[in-house]
Structures are given as structure tokens and as C-alpha cells.
Structure 1
């Protein structure tokens, strides 16, 4: 059995007598001709006109894409979208592809070429990164429904035609990624991002994987996006081998909901009981490049873990822990302990950068013991994770099941891309 791990995967050698409950997507129908399917989607929109018609008489366009942490097939998506704009009469020099980094680092040079995946795009239009800490790059659009300042990247706000591209998959805070999330937090100012990541939002039980209805973060995102007027969106769903299975294009909210409706049947896996042993992953490259992103795998699997159980997670962490801000939050977690750390967050009107990821880790730690296998962290870095270290994953799992005399094991090879949920909750927003 192989877990998604880095670029190569990680083979597990488990005892033959284990009762393994494999949690993975049902086989997804892969598009025979993804390019043709995308081009067809651009002419059959949800709650919008065809892309070419929307682009008529528009002078400028800004197209948002996710950063390098998401395996979006940009090399496939961007060229047909841009060519539709050019056919409508738009000058290539008036088209900007903007990397919606949120507070992640910019994607530059070879990494940018890998992200875009298409030299024609790089040579035809402007490709730039969002910088959340640059005050001058942002426009104030008023106060959100929760009282936060709305500051968004002016390149998107001021474009005549606003287009978002995104990968739709479960998200541990916003319910599902894609659509509105590429804008909020993708191109928000750091203060806006800090506001929507406070404990006021994230400690709400509906700020969780696969939940949209009543999710305060999702509702705040929709409120902010509504201030922009018309926004178009191209969403994609991919299978476990990252092959395109579904495209939706149209008005941002409606096209996103269509993609969510499609993917629910594959990514929400009903469970009728919890287990004392859960094995999962950080999803493999590019998501598991940092420990910061590994937290998503922990949270994604926690509903499968029985009280007193152990969650084993494998993540390459090839780029280390994450940002300096996240390292600071992890240091506070280790020094204060989970309960005191969480208590320190509750009064805040604006979260410190990246401490929300540590807050989400605390949720997983409340579910049971967390045991991390990685080859990417040294001793000092591993101390900052606040979780237990595993040197040989197969051996540790074998020793644990022998200790508890319970040989039923849950394995989730794709990590946070597949979510075990109570059976009654599956398919319900």
C-alpha cells in the first residue's frame, strides 16, 4: 500500500492480519479530451454568458490562479481562457494572470514556469504575484458583514473583466476550496486575512471540511466577493492521479456550487464508527512540501479517530516547517500547551499571520495522539511540530496495534483530499 508522499510516494509494509479499512475516492470518470471539455464549458456557462461574449467590449482582464501549493492544471486551463479573450478583441498586453498567494511566498523563476505550465502564456500576457503585505497594492472596499476591513488587490478590483480559476476539493476551514476562496484570502491584504482567520470564525464547528451552509468563513467570503460585481470562474475537479474529471464555468457562486455538487459523491466517505488507528498523509507534492500544509491532513482525518486513538501521518516537508510566523506560532503552542494557546487566541480581533494553522492543529490534537513520519525535518524543527516523531512508520503502526490488541486500521492514502464523515452528514452542505 502506498501513501501520497512527496513526489515518489511512501510504501507501507503492514502485517497481513490487519483489518484495513481503505478510505479513498470512488473511481472518478476521467475526461477523454480535457481541452475540448474545457472549451465546451466556456461556451455553456452557469448564470453567465459565454466567456467570449463576456469579454466583448472589455479592455482589461485579470485572471486569478492558485499558488504552487495547489495542483491546478494551469497549463491546460489558461491558454484556452486567454485565447477566448483575445478572440473577443482584447489586447494580450491588457491581460494579467495574478498568482493568488494569500500570505504564502511568491512563485518566481523556475517555480513560476512550473506553476503556469505553459510557455505560450508566459510569453503572451503579464504574469504577476500578489503581495499581501504591500499596502499600496490594495483597494479599500468597505467593511464586511462581520466588521472587517475589505482590502483587495487593485489589479483584480480595477480590471474590466474579473476571472477566477480554481481547484475544487475539501477544505478544512472553508468547506470546499475553489471559487470565492481564490479571492478571499487569495488576493486580500494581510489585515483582511487576519480578520477572517480569527478564532471567532475558526472555532465555529461549521468552519470545517465539506460544510458550506452556516460556515461563517464561507459566508464572509461570499459577502466580500459580492462587493466586486460580476466575477467569472473556471473550476476544475481532478482525480487521485490529478487528471481532470470535471470543469464548470460561469458566475463565481453558481459555477463553484456545480463543482462542489459534482465532487461530493467522490470525496465524502461515510463512516459508521471511529477507529483507534488512523493512517493518513499530507497529500503528496506539492501540498506536503511544508509542515504548515501538513496540518490539513491531520484535520481531514480526525473524524475517523476514536478517543484515545493514534493518528499516523506521513508528509515529506521537503521545504521545512513553513513561514517564520508559523514557526513562532508553533513555538508558542509547544511552550504554552494546546489549551493555553487556544485561550490566547479567543480575544483577538485579528489573528497573527499563520497562527490559524496552529489553531487547526489543536483541533486535531484534541481528537487523539498525532504521530508524524517525515524525512524533511531535523531535530529542532521536529520539536516545533508539537506532535510525536515516527522514524519507521510501518514498525510504529505494528507496535501500536499489538499494544492495544485492536487490529482494525483506517488508511487514507490521499490525506485531506478525501474526508471521512459521519454517514448522515455525507452529501449535506
Structure 2
């Protein structure tokens, strides 16, 4: 088989390895039909014709280049629907939900908008520009909410994106299109800080993990902050292993998102009877391994299929580097307790991600195949390998003679769940 690596692929030859991949879906409808049917049958809201009025100013929020959502497919269909409601192109704009990410290039805008590029106005959110932000007060959970001014000035707000697992918010999509998508840096940091327990307890909150929404304090913060915006309509896709649309959920922000999360859980949770000695994990290629902040999600998910102290070979090209200028600086802390103390004193989302990476590297032997050099790789607690065959040559002699292994071709999507066989 082959594993995706950046924009290329590499052969993987490991006899006996258990392949972990999503359930096969049969009888797929064409993507445009899935989108249109979801638009016509939303969950918890009327369809768009029952919500918008001729002449309304509409802002459509959509994901940046690091989170592929099939936007080039669904955005034109949403705009067509708005046009049919007597809303002209000049009254529609698209806002890229960058969160704290970098701005997009013209070519990236073209990829995101597809045939709408040059026809519909597109803007990048800037979390650090106070002129772009409107203060919406403080949530019941104590989160200060500042949101992009274009969103708040619009008559109607449509939030779009894709639903997948998220390594501490439970699931992506839904409310994340607004917070952190079009929120201030202060809102982003405050809403995410709940990943940690109170200082007298220490460590991460046990419910701030992949695939969990109930009791997840980060999810609660994000949802409460996003609801301050009072968005009118949500469109979220669920994608297959080849980035094809397999389902679309439209409607009210929370209800439609929860319905999509249930499908993701059923499709992408893969049972494993026992944790393995070795895992070979590919993020699934770009954009899931466009930078390390995106790529490490596959590591978080995949390590669940590995025994404590086991070995992971991790393929993540990361052509855009770490993904944020200060991310790598956090690895000056090599003691995890000191690292956590520094985060509590000056919380940053990317620092929390770096802490999670180092914590995993302390629990497993991780060989990283990427564009990073040996020194950068070592600072993250990992070993650099030039390619997959070299990595296998390094690790196979160290494994038990009857070692067990798993191969995860789309690690940025799949969540292994160790489920021992039941006995009678």
C-alpha cells in the first residue's frame, strides 16, 4: 500500500500490520446533491429562503487552507441559493476563519472559493486588529468575546466548515468556525485555557479530549462564546478518506453540528482489540500535514492504538514548518511540570499544543519523517528518519519477535479505540 506524505506518497511494506481506516460508505450521492438536499432540509432552522430577505447583507464564514472542507464545492451552491432569494453577489462576502493562523495568499483564496474567486468579495480575519473586532461582553463561563466586525454588521451570518475529531475540543466544525475562527486572540486564548484542571489539581481536564463533548470545558467555552454571535445558519461537511463529501449537515449551530459529530464518531472511530507495539501513522497528506500544528493531531489520535512505551513512525511533511512563529520556542521547556507551570502563567494555544506533543514523546518512541532537521526533531522529543524504510530498519530489531503493528493511512481523521474482545 502507499501512504500520503505532503503532496506525494510513499510505499509501505509491513507484513501483518492491521490496517485502520474508516468504514466504507456505499451509494454515495454526488456532492452537489448532498449539499442541496441539506440546504433544503436543515436541522432546527427553516431553509435559507425562509430566513433571508431580498437585499440582506450576508457574510459566509469558511475555513482557511489548513482545514480542507470542500468549500470550493459548497460555497457556489450556497451563493446560488442566496441569489435565488434575491440577494445579489455584491451583498455577499466570504470571511476566512483564520483564528490565530497566518493570512492566506491569493492562490489559497482561489482554492478555497473555487469558481467564486474574483466574483464574490473575500476577506481574511485578523485576530490582532482591534479595528476589525466588536466586543460582545463576557459569557456565563467568564470568556470575553470579541468577534469580527464584518460578521456582526451583517444581516445574516452563515458559518461553514467541516466536522472531524479534535484533540481537545472533542470535535471540530460547528462553533469553531466562529470561535476561534473569527474571534480575537484574547477570546481564543481564554476559551481554550480550560484544557487545564484548576492549579490545585494540575494536569489536563479528563474530558478535554478527542471525541468527547459532554463535560468538555473547552467545548462549553467555545459554544457559549459562539452563541453570542447568534449565527443564522450552519453548513458543515463530513469528508471521506479521499476528501470527498460523504455527508452535509445544515441548520442551527449546535443541533446540526451534534448530528454531524455522531456520524463522524460512527465512521471514524475504529475498534482495535489490543494496543500495538508499533504504529505507522500518516496524517493523510496535505493539508493535514501542511504544518506540524495540524499534523500533530494525527499523532494524538494514532497513539491511542499503541502500548505505553511502544514505537510510532510518523509521516508528516510539514512544508510550512511548525505553523506558528512561536510554537517551537516552547520546547525550551523539557521538563513537563515546568512546561505546564509556564503555560499557566502565560497561556498560549500553541504552547499547549507543544506541551501535548512533548508529553506524547515522553510516553512513546517516535520516529518523525518530515522536513525538519535533526535538532528540531530532537527538541520535540523525537528521532529524525530520512524515510519510511530507514525508520523501519531502525525500529524492527528493537521490537519483540512476535510484535503487533497497525498502519493508519489517514491519521488526521481516524480515532483508534481499543476495545478488548468480550468473553462469555
TM-score of the alignment, normalized to the shorter chain, above 0.5: yes
Q: Indicate the residue corresponding to 1:356 in structure 2.
A: 352
Change (3 A) 1:58 1:386: farther
Give the superposition deviation at 1:51.
1.3
Alignment map for 1:70-85 (pairs within 5 Å): 70-85=67-82
Q: Secondary structure at the match of 2:87?
A: coil
Q: Indicate the residue corresponding to 1:114 in structure 2.
A: 111
Deviation string, structure 1 residues 109-160 (Cα, Å, up to 9, x no partner): 1121122222xx2233211100111111111111123322111111112211
Deviation string, structure 1 residues 57-78 (Cα, Å, up to 9, x no partner): 5621111110001121111101
Q: Indicate the residue corresponding to 1:257 in structure 2.
A: 258
Query: Residue 418 of structure 1: which of 411, 414, 419 is its match?
Result: 414
Q: Indicate the residue corresponding to 2:7 in structure 1.
A: 7
CA distance in 1, matches of 2:206, 2:151: 32
Please say which of residues 33-42 and 351-360 is displaced more in the overlay.
Answer: 351-360
Alignment map for 1:57-206 (pairs within 5 Å): 57=54, 59-118=56-115, 121-198=116-193, 199-200=195-196, 203-206=204-207
Change (3 A) 1:230 1:75: closer
CA distance in 1, matches of 2:323, 2:227: 32
CA distance in 2, matches of 1:54, 1:373: 49
Unaligned runs of 5+ in 2: 198-202
Q: Indicate the residue corresponding to 2:321 in structure 1.
A: 320
Q: Indicate the residue corresponding to 1:393 in structure 2.
A: 388
Query: Residue 337 of structure 1: which of 325, 335, 338 is its match?
Result: 335
Q: Secondary structure at the match of 2:51?
A: helix
The answer as to whether partners of 1:237 and 1:245 remain within 8 angstroms in 2 is: yes
Unaligned runs of 5+ in 1: 425-429
Alignment map for 1:215-294 (pairs within 5 Å): 215-294=216-295
The answer as to whether partners of 2:158 and 2:231 remain within 8 angstroms in 1 is: no
Deviation string, structure 1 residues 10-40 (Cα, Å, up to 9, x no partner): 21233x4xx3111111112363321122112
Q: Secondary structure at the match of 2:339?
A: helix
Q: Indicate the residue corresponding to 2:47 in structure 1.
A: 50
The answer as to whether partners of 2:39 and 2:47 remain within 8 angstroms in 1 is: yes
Q: Secondary structure at the match of 1:246?
A: strand
Change (3 A) 1:353 1:215: closer
Q: Indicate the residue corresponding to 1:24 in structure 2.
A: 21
Give the superposition deviation at 1:274.
1.3
The answer as to whether partners of 2:94 and 2:122 remain within 8 angstroms in 1 is: yes
CA distance in 2, matches of 1:13, 1:50: 50
The answer as to whether partners of 2:109 and 2:117 remain within 8 angstroms in 1 is: no
- Displacement over 4 Å in runs of 4+: none
Change (3 A) 1:367 1:29: farther
CA distance in 1, matches of 2:404, 2:330: 35
Q: Indicate the residue corresponding to 2:200 in structure 1.
A: none
Change (3 A) 1:89 1:392: closer
Q: Indicate the residue corresponding to 1:310 in structure 2.
A: 311
Give the superposition deviation at 1:108.
2.0
Q: Secondary structure at the match of 2:412?
A: helix
